[in-house]
Amino acid sequence: MDTLAWVYFYTSGWSVVVILGLAALHKLRFSGEFIGALAGYRLLPPAALGIWWIVPLLEMLAVVEILFSQGQSRWLALALFALYGAAITINLLRGRQHIDCGCGGDGTPISWGLVLRNAVLLAFTWPPPIPGAGLTTATGSLVTITVAFCLLAYVIVNQLFANAAR
């Protein structure tokens, strides 16, 4: 079962790195959109919106943490996904289903499906058992394909959520 452990270890790590990295870049590039979404959550006082850049900064730091620890330390990413999940849940409970989730791409209103998606990402950042020796080239190829599949699945899920709202 060592191969499966390796595949999970690297796939979860790389997927989170790419998703968080792209999310941070997207937030910096379309900052207006992101600030609008952030304000929509009504969790921060308006004055605090001025330091919106702290969110993409934390995402970048989470990426750096995972990369430098070679996938073993994922705490910042875990905290961020927990925070996002909580923010969405709070607004769903408030009955504000119409607000944009700020996920980037096509506008997507928040939903329980998004909470579920976040839970999967959260599971990916849960500290994985570090597998023993035995990473081979074949396993590496399997990891590459699996990471590609995970990212594609993430994009598909996001698009389905965006479509469902139209």
Partner 1 sequence: MLESLLIASQVILWIAVIFLAVTVYALSRQLARLFERVPPAGALSVNALLQPGDNAPIMEINDLNGDTLQIGGARAEHCLLFFLSLDCPICKSLLPVVQSVAAAEQVELIFISDGARLEDHRRFAHGHGLERYRYVLSEAVGMAYAVGKLPYAVLVAPGGTITTLGIVNNREHLESLFTAKDIGVGTVQQYVEEHVQRPN
Residues contributing to the site for partner 1 (CB under 8 A): 1-4, 6-7, 134, 136, 138-139, 142, 145-146, 149, 153, 156, 160, 163-164
Which residue number, 48 or 152, has a Cβ lying nearer to partner 1? 152
Closest by Cα among 74, 65, 69, 35 to 51: 35
Minimum CB distance to partner 1, residue 113 (Å) = 10
Burial (CB count <10 Å: 0-12, 13-18, 19+), residue 151: middle
Which residue number, 50 or 134, has a Cβ lying nearer to partner 1? 134
Which residue number, 6 or 124, has a Cβ lying nearer to partner 1? 6
Which residue number, 108 or 139, has a Cβ lying nearer to partner 1? 139
Minimum CB distance to partner 1, residue 24 (Å) = 26
Minimum CB distance to partner 1, residue 123 (Å) = 13
Output the CA–CA distances (angstroms, integers) from residue 105 to 84, 86, 143, 156, in the order listed: 17, 21, 27, 12
Helix (H) or strand (E) holding 12: helix 2-29
Which residue number, 86 or 156, has a Cβ lying nearer to partner 1? 156
Given 3-state DSSP classes, what are the helix, strand and coil percentages for the chain, each rounded to the nearest 5?
A: 70, 0, 25
Minimum CB distance to partner 1, residue 137 (Å) = 11
Residues 69 and 88: their CA atoms lie apart, in Å, by: 29
Minimum CB distance to partner 1, residue 7 (Å) = 5
- 126 touches 78 (CB < 8 A): yes
